[in-house]
Homo-oligomer: A and B are copies of this chain.
Amino acid sequence: MYNQTISTLLNHRSIRKFKDQALSEEQIKLLVECAQAASTSSFTQSFSIIGVEDPLIKKQLREISGDQSYVEENGYFFVFVADQYRNQQIGEHIDTDTSVLDTTQRLIVALGDAAFAAQNMAVAAESMGLGICYIGSIQRDVKKTAELLQLPEFTFPVFGLAVGYPDQEPEKKPRLPFTSIFHKNVYRKGMSEDELKGYDQQIADYYHSRTGGNRDETWTGQIAQGLSAPARMALKPFLEKQHLGRR
């Protein structure tokens, strides 16, 4: 069952430091082609990809993301957009009412299409020896991101994808135990005390070995940290303004 693709998938780790080497035009085209080959709901292809090359835009996206250097310093930077605008334009073009595009179904479909395409690109890049990092934090100031990329109504910038030649070799981060993610037939409620403790220990060991004992963190500690305050509260009004998921 094991093959090159499985190895690529199982070897994933996010790369946050890239060499100063740009991707070639051929690499970019092939990555986009792989992204496009992914499944798409009802064949609507409800996504777009922005290739951000303008240094000024990259710099500003870096600021929006909370100054993550690899948003600016990478081999190439893509932004994946959930896109019902194309469908809206086609509807107008063929004189069809497009009012259904503001439904929750269409928002979910576009988010899925964008994510399938992005994950295909991520896998393709890693198979070519490149590294990737998703940048969800372009949503920290989603209005500004949309302005920079001149996104029209019916679109939503879901995440960036920094791609490039890795300049670091992070260890693979251990995932939750199989039984915590996988449920048979029906949802099994809650992880046991033992499962949580065991996994916390694994993650603590991971950070210890990675930082020579300097980082002391557990997974539940990280989850708790994430629960401390609501984030990106501009997302809902922004989606509303974009006519997405209104009903």
User: Chain A: residues with CB nearer than 8 A to chain B?
Assistant: 1, 3-6, 8-12, 14, 26-27, 29-30, 32-39, 41-45, 47-54, 57, 81, 85-87, 89-91, 93-94, 96-101, 103-105, 108-109, 111-112, 115-116, 118-120, 122-124, 127-128, 132, 134, 136, 139, 148-152, 155, 158-159, 173, 175-176, 178, 180-187, 189-191, 196, 219-220, 222-224, 226-233, 235-236, 239, 245, 247
Contact = CB atoms under 8 A, between A and B. Distances in A.
Contacts of A87: 223, 226-227
Contacts of A4: 3-5, 127
A139 B108 CA distance: 11
Oligomer: number of copies: 2
A236 B227 contact: no
Given A45-B176, A112-B136, A115-B115, 9 more contacts: A5-B127, A6-B128, A29-B178, A41-B136, A42-B226, A49-B182, A53-B185, A97-B227, A105-B235
B104 A187 contact: no
Contacts of A35: 181
26 contacts: A9-B123, A36-B178, A38-B122, A42-B226, A45-B175, A45-B181, A48-B181, A49-B182, A54-B185, A81-B187, A90-B223, A90-B224, A91-B224, A96-B227, A96-B228, A103-B236, A105-B139, A105-B231, A108-B111, A108-B139, A111-B112, A112-B115, A119-B123, A149-B185, A150-B186, A230-B247
A79 to B, nearest CB: 9
A104 B9 contact: no
Contacts of A223: 44, 87, 90-91, 94
Contact of A39 (B128, B134, B148, B196): B134
